[in-house]
């Protein structure tokens, strides 16, 4: 990229930066996620598009600008700083690639893809995190070599085999199970003491949201409190068992896994084609958690279900649907370079697989040996060969906008998608539509040719644009017709994987460039630093996905059980034993309780990988039972509560807030919907032939069943930090911003549920006086009101009724309106959104 005559080297670069950028440049270290973003998105783009003209090793340094180190990028060239952290307007690199200045458009021969430009925008706005040191200039080797010491790398704690520790002997009745012994021992060594137990109302609400994502039913509250008074241990155990056995357990834990699996129902990026069959993977995940499918089987099915033997058509269909894990990721469907598209798809699969199951960022080794972890490029391309030897089937149409179409997997003996039964007549209608569209296409092309012959170029261009739209429609109709059998019956399809007929080993791509392959090929295999003595070589005639799954789930794999046990812990306690749940590498955090983590990892395998048993042990611990009470002395010693001296106060996630609003109003429909509104909208492109209105979010079903379309998330989820479905999200960001409070005060959804809750209390249950206040508080907060809250509630209702009477409003109407506003205040409150 030539940025000549626009960049100059300032005398004191830091003095030119905004204050926030100066502070970041001088003090703040990039976070692990920011480093990953740079390594995956920014460094490869700089290498591919910029280094020819702006690298120390480039053909010729133009404009005095070097972009292959952090300092030189920020210093800039002949006209100013190229990258100014946090400031797009001052970052001339962004001005150039965005073509915002006609005198500064780089690269000069083509504009970068919109998603690449968007990545640079995101990177600069997050502070331009850049781990490159001044001498870290990417060089092009003639052959690939690595200097990584794998054996030394295995000394890192995460790659050491877990050793089952002796349970600490604690002379205290505080301890209920081994978890408590490990926590109490570490806490005592730090001079900390445990907070008291939470009260039964708080504890039941915590259990219910953690295990089902819903508030406890009003009729269960008093019975639990009574049982807790008789025998707390039994009350907690019985309540946990009931919740774990409910269908809502799988919906709760399934949604958490869908974050990790970056579940979505569209391709994302510019084309954003719909995935009408993605919902099958969603339902598979929910059913797997409800059935307590052993986690090692769960992993294997998602990576290689199509390669497993099955006892029935139903089992075969389930295994095929499971491989949707590898097919539902983000895709640049308008990529003109088929080879580049293929390698980008494989990169996304490697990144998802290694982070989801191994908390290892292997994808950072695409362009060079991993900068921080002991993963050479050869390991990356060993895994790339496995995925290159497999086909991802995702089912998008062949159109002018979508150049990378795909087939789907036909499922045996499964009900058709979305419960929409197509008939032979409907298929015939589609055939007629296709015929008419092809005739229209021929006519438009003839008219465009005639106009060009007549020299009417502008009119010809208009007709040519119409042909593009018609071609898109043809592709969509053709793809829809494929969902029918010859007799007009609807066939069931799924997204998923299959092996290629001729597997092969991948070339090693120097700097990750698809047109710059080294002489060496990397034999299909796995990440060497994660060693298991029982791993098998990949047979010549197989992709290696099955062997990869067996390596990941091997009893000797030091990482897999640790990673998932840590995920479950973070879901239940609000923070992982390892806080960087997706990264156990050297840039991740060390475990706060390493012996506890090893105990949980080994015990998980001893439980035959039962997620339900692991969850049950955690929630019946005394550690889980603690209150979130604040202590100034304890806080001074451990402000982040890493040693677990109290429970973490947590905000509910977006789904729980929405589902709770529906639950307290009595409107929540617990039945699973058939398919998804995306499947019913059909094949197409979001924002073009499929509109937001067609992707229905006006439903009273649980939030896990809402359509998850990339770049078009439901407002009720997006405002409360829903996981970005384009990324692996083992841990969601939690923000507190004004838009959240405004949503709770003004959204039609909240107001509608407040009115329904008022109607339920006032008209259906016919509650009045103190009983009304008590029931309202129990539904909203899972506790009765205090005496003061009860008095204030009744005073508010009476005052409102009096004012309404003076205005001439009927008493029944006034009572309903008074309760509606009162119920909205309950739903809009902080207590409604937080767990103590």
Check: CB of residue 362 under 8 Å from CB of residue 383. Answer: yes
Residue 247, token pair as written in the block: 């269908």
pLDDT band at 19 (very low <50, low <70, confident <90, very high): very low
The model's pLDDT over 25-58, given as tens digits with 9 standing for 90+, comes to 433 578 888 888 998 899 999 888 888 888 766 6
Q: Given a cut of 60, is residue 21 above it in pLDDT? A: no
Alpha helices in 638-737 (DSSP H): 654-665, 677-681, 715-718
Predicted local distance difference test score (pLDDT) of residue 705: 96
Q: Which residue has the higher pLDDT, 695 or 312?
A: 312
The answer to whether residue 734 is domain-embedded is no
* Burial of 203 per CB tally in 10 Å (0-12, 13-18, 19+): buried
Could you tell me if 279 and 388 lie in one domain? Answer: yes
Predicted local distance difference test score (pLDDT) of residue 648: 97
DSSP code, position 764: I
φ, ψ of residue 528 in degrees (nearest 5): -65, -35
Q: d(Cα 394, Cα 389) in Å, to the nearest integer?
A: 16
Among 56-70, 205-219, 530-544, 808-822, the range scoring the smallest mean pLDDT is 56-70
Could you tell me if 337 and 479 lie in one domain? Answer: no
The answer to whether residue 790 is domain-embedded is yes
Domain interval for residue 367:
256-413+497-552
Give the rounded percent of residues in the chain with a pLDDT score beyond 70.
Answer: 91
Q: Which residue has the higher pLDDT, 105 or 163?
A: 163
Check: CB of residue 482 under 8 Å from CB of residue 393. Answer: no
| Domain final residue pick, 125, 146, 168 | 125
Could you tell me if 526 and 605 lie in one domain? Answer: no
DSSP code, position 476: H
**Does residue 107 have a cis peptide bond before it, meaning omega lies within 30 degrees of 0?**
yes
Q: Given a cut of 50, is residue 594 above it in pLDDT? A: yes
584 pairs with which residues across the strands? none
Q: Which residue has the higher pLDDT, 719 or 131?
A: 719
Could you tell me if 190 and 308 lie in one domain? Answer: no
| Domain final residue pick, 442, 473, 489 | 489
Q: Which residues contact 510 (CB under 8 A, 6 or more apart)?
A: 140, 141, 144, 516, 517, 518
Mean pLDDT over the full length of the chain: 88
3-state secondary structure of 506: strand
- Which range among 270-274, 706-710, 808-812 has the greatest average pLDDT? 706-710
* HSE (side-chain half, CA atoms, 13 Å) at 327: 36
Output the CA–CA distances (angstroms, integers) from residue 78 to 7, 10, 83, 529, in the order listed: 3, 9, 13, 45
Please state the rounded mean pLDDT for residues 830-835: 96
Rg (C-alpha) for the chain, rounded Å, is 29
Could you tell me if 205 and 264 lie in one domain? Answer: no
Q: Which residues contact 823 (CB under 8 A, 6 or more apart)?
A: 664, 665, 754, 755, 757, 758, 761, 776, 780
Total number of domains in the chain: 5
Please state the rounded mean pLDDT for residues 701-708: 96
Predicted local distance difference test score (pLDDT) of residue 797: 87
Predicted local distance difference test score (pLDDT) of residue 672: 95
Predicted local distance difference test score (pLDDT) of residue 57: 66
The model's pLDDT over 750-782, given as tens digits with 9 standing for 90+, comes to 999 999 999 999 888 888 888 999 999 999 999
Please state the rounded mean pLDDT for residues 382-402: 92
Predicted local distance difference test score (pLDDT) of residue 464: 72
Please state the rounded mean pLDDT for residues 86-92: 84
Please state the rounded mean pLDDT for residues 326-330: 97
Which of these, 777, 708, 674, lies nearest to 258 by C-alpha position? 708
Q: Given a cut of 80, is residue 490 above it in pLDDT? A: no
Residues in the chain: 836
Residue 300, token pair as written in the block: 């294997």
Other beta carbons less than 10 A from residue 63's beta carbon: 23
Predicted local distance difference test score (pLDDT) of residue 436: 84
The answer to whether residue 599 is domain-embedded is yes
Predicted local distance difference test score (pLDDT) of residue 743: 95
Q: d(Cα 245, Cα 474) in Å, to the nearest integer?
A: 48
Q: d(Cα 612, Cα 606) in Å, to the nearest integer?
A: 13
Q: Which residue has the higher pLDDT, 564 or 479?
A: 564
Predicted local distance difference test score (pLDDT) of residue 423: 63
Could you tell me if 757 and 612 lie in one domain? Answer: no
Residue 181, token pair as written in the block: 């012994």
Please state the rounded mean pLDDT for residues 307-335: 95
Could you tell me if 403 and 535 lie in one domain? Answer: yes
Could you tell me if 400 and 278 lie in one domain? Answer: yes
Predicted local distance difference test score (pLDDT) of residue 48: 85
**Does residue 224 have a cis peptide bond before it, meaning omega lies within 30 degrees of 0?**
no
pLDDT band at 476 (very low <50, low <70, confident <90, very high): confident
Q: Given a cut of 60, is residue 660 above it in pLDDT? A: yes
Q: d(Cα 273, Cα 334) in Å, to the nearest integer?
A: 10
Q: d(Cα 338, Cα 341) in Å, to the nearest integer?
A: 5
Q: Which residue has the higher pLDDT, 259 or 447?
A: 259
Which of these, 156, 317, 173, lies nearest to 232 by C-alpha position? 173
Q: d(Cα 783, Cα 776) in Å, to the nearest integer?
A: 9
Could you tell me if 471 and 507 lie in one domain? Answer: no
Predicted local distance difference test score (pLDDT) of residue 455: 82
Could you tell me if 453 and 395 lie in one domain? Answer: no
Predicted local distance difference test score (pLDDT) of residue 427: 66
Predicted local distance difference test score (pLDDT) of residue 6: 35
The answer to whether residue 141 is domain-embedded is no
The model's pLDDT over 193-245, given as tens digits with 9 standing for 90+, comes to 999 999 999 999 999 999 999 999 999 999 999 999 999 999 999 999 999 99
Predicted local distance difference test score (pLDDT) of residue 699: 93
* Burial of 367 per CB tally in 10 Å (0-12, 13-18, 19+): buried
Check: CB of residue 373 under 8 Å from CB of residue 159. Answer: no
* HSE (side-chain half, CA atoms, 13 Å) at 556: 10
The answer to whether residue 218 is domain-embedded is yes
The answer to whether residue 738 is domain-embedded is no
Angle between helices 424-453 and 457-481 (to 10 degrees): 160
Q: Which residue has the higher pLDDT, 156 or 815?
A: 156
Q: Which residue has the higher pLDDT, 137 or 258?
A: 258
Q: Which residue has the higher pLDDT, 689 or 527?
A: 527
The pairing of beta strand 517-522 with beta strand 493-494: unpaired
Give the rounded percent of residues in the chain with a pLDDT score beyond 90.
Answer: 62
The answer to whether residue 729 is domain-embedded is no
Could you tell me if 397 and 331 lie in one domain? Answer: yes
The model's pLDDT over 170-200, given as tens digits with 9 standing for 90+, comes to 888 999 999 999 999 999 999 999 999 999 9
Q: Given a cut of 70, is residue 8 above it in pLDDT? A: no
Residue 267, token pair as written in the block: 């391709």
Output the CA–CA distances (angstroms, integers) from residue 155 to 24, 560, 584, 590, in the order listed: 32, 17, 13, 13
Q: Given a cut of 50, is residue 590 above it in pLDDT? A: yes
Predicted local distance difference test score (pLDDT) of residue 77: 66
Check: CB of residue 84 under 8 Å from CB of residue 17. Answer: yes
φ, ψ of residue 702 in degrees (nearest 5): -60, 155
Could you tell me if 398 and 468 lie in one domain? Answer: no
Predicted local distance difference test score (pLDDT) of residue 390: 96
| Domain final residue pick, 614, 649, 684 | 649
The answer to whether residue 604 is domain-embedded is yes
Predicted local distance difference test score (pLDDT) of residue 203: 98
Q: Given a cut of 90, is residue 468 above it in pLDDT? A: no
Give the torsion through C-alpha atoms of 536, 538, 542, 546, to 10 deg. Answer: 40
Q: Which residue has the higher pLDDT, 451 or 735?
A: 735
Q: Which residues contact 235 (CB under 8 A, 6 or more apart)?
A: 200, 224, 227, 228
């Amino acid at each position: 990229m030539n940025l000549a005559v626009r960049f100059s080297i300032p005398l004191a670069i830091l003095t030119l930066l905004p204050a926030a950028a100066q502070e970041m440049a001088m003090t703040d270290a990039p976070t692990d996620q920011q480093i990953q973003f740079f390594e995956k998105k920014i460094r490869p783009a700089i290498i591919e598009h910029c280094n020819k003209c702006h690298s120390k090793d480039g053909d010729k340094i133009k404009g005095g600008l070097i972009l292959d180190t952090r300092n030189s990028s920020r210093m800039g060239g002949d006209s100013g700083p190229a990258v100014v952290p946090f400031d797009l307007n001052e970052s001339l690199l962004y001005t150039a690639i965005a073509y915002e200045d006609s005198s500064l458009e780089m690269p000069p021969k083509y504009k970068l893809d919109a998603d690449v430009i968007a990545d640079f925008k995101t990177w600069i706005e997050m502070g331009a995190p850049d781990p490159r040191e001044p001498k870290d200039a990417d060089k092009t080797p003639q052959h690939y070599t690595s200097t990584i010491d794998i054996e030394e790398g295995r000394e890192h704690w995460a790659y050491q085999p877990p050793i089952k520790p002796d349970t600490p002997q604690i002379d205290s009745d505080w301890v209920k199970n081994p978890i408590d012994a490990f926590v109490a021992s570490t806490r005592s060594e730090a001079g900390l003491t445990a907070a008291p137990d939470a009260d039964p109302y708080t504890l039941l609400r915590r259990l219910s949201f953690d295990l089902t994502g819903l508030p406890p039913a009003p009729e269960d509250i008093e019975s639990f409190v009574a049982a807790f008074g008789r025998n707390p241990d039994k009350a907690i155990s019985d309540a946990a068992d009931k919740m774990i056995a409910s269908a809502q357990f799988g919906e709760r834990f399934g949604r958490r896994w869908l974050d990790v699996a970056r579940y979505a129902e569209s391709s994302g990026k510019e084309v954003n084609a719909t995935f009408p069959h993605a919902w099958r993977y969603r339902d598979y995940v929910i059913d797997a958690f409800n059935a307590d499918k052993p986690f090692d089987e769960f992993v294997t099915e998602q990576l290689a279900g199509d390669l497993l033997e099955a006892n029935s058509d139903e089992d075969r269909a389930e295994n095929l649907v499971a491989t949707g894990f590898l097919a539902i990721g983000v895709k640049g469907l308008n990529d003109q370079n088929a080879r580049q598209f293929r390698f980008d798809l494989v990169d996304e699969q490697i990144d998802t697989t290694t982070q989801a199951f191994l908390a290892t960022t292997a994808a950072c080794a695409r362009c060079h040996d991993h900068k921080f972890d002991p993963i050479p490029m050869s390991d990356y391309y060993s895994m790339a060969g496995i995925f290159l030897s497999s086909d991802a089937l995702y089912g998008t149409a062949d159109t002018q906008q979508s150049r990378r179409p795909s087939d789907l997997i036909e499922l045996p003996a499964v009900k058709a998608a979305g419960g929409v039964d197509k008939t032979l007549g409907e298929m015939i209608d589609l055939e007629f539509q296709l015929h008419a569209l092809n005739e229209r296409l021929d006519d438009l092309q003839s008219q465009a040719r005639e106009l060009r012959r007549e020299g009417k170029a502008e009119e010809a261009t208009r007709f040519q644009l119409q042909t593009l739209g018609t071609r898109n429609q043809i592709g969509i109709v053709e793809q829809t017709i494929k969902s029918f059998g010859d007799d007009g019956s609807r066939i069931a399809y799924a997204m998923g994987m299959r092996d290629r007929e001729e597997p092969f080993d991948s070339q090693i791509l120097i700097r990750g460039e698809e047109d710059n392959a080294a002489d060496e090929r990397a034999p299909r295999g796995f990440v060497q630093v994660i060693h298991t003595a029982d791993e098998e070589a990949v047979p010549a005639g197989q992709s290696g996905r099955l062997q990869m799954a067996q390596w990941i789930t091997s009893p000797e794999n030091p990482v897999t059980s640790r990673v998932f046990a840590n995920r479950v812990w973070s879901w239940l306690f609000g923070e992982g034993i390892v806080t960087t749940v997706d990264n156990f590498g050297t840039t991740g955090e060390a475990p706060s309780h390493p012996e506890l983590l090893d105990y949980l990892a080994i015990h998980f395998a001893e439980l035959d990988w039962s997620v339900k048993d692991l969850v049950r042990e955690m929630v019946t611990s005394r550690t889980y039972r603690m209150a979130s009470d604040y202590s100034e002395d304890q806080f001074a010693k451990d402000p982040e509560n890493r040693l677990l001296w109290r429970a973490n106060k947590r905000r509910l996630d977006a789904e729980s807030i929405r589902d709770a609003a529906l639950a307290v109003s009595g409107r929540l429909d617990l039945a699973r919907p058939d398919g998804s509104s995306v499947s019913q909208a059909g094949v197409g492109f979001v924002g073009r032939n499929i509109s937001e209105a067609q992707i229905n979010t006006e439903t009273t079903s649980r939030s896990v069943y809402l359509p998850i379309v990339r770049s078009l998330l439901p407002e009720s989820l997006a405002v409360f930090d829903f996981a970005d479905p384009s990324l692996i999200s083992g841990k969601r960001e939690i923000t507190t911003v004004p838009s959240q409070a405004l949503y709770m005060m003004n959204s039609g959804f909240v107001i509608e549920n407040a009115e329904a809750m008022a109607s339920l209390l006032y008209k259906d249950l016919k509650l009045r006086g103190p009983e009304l206040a008590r029931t309202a508080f129990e539904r909203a907060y899972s506790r009765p009101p205090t005496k003061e809250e009860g008095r204030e509630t009744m005073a508010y209702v009476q005052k409102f009724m009096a004012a309404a009477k003076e205005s001439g409003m009927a008493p029944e109407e006034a009572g309903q309106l008074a309760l509606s506003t009162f119920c909205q205040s309950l739903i809009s409150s902080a207590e409604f959104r937080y767990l103590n």
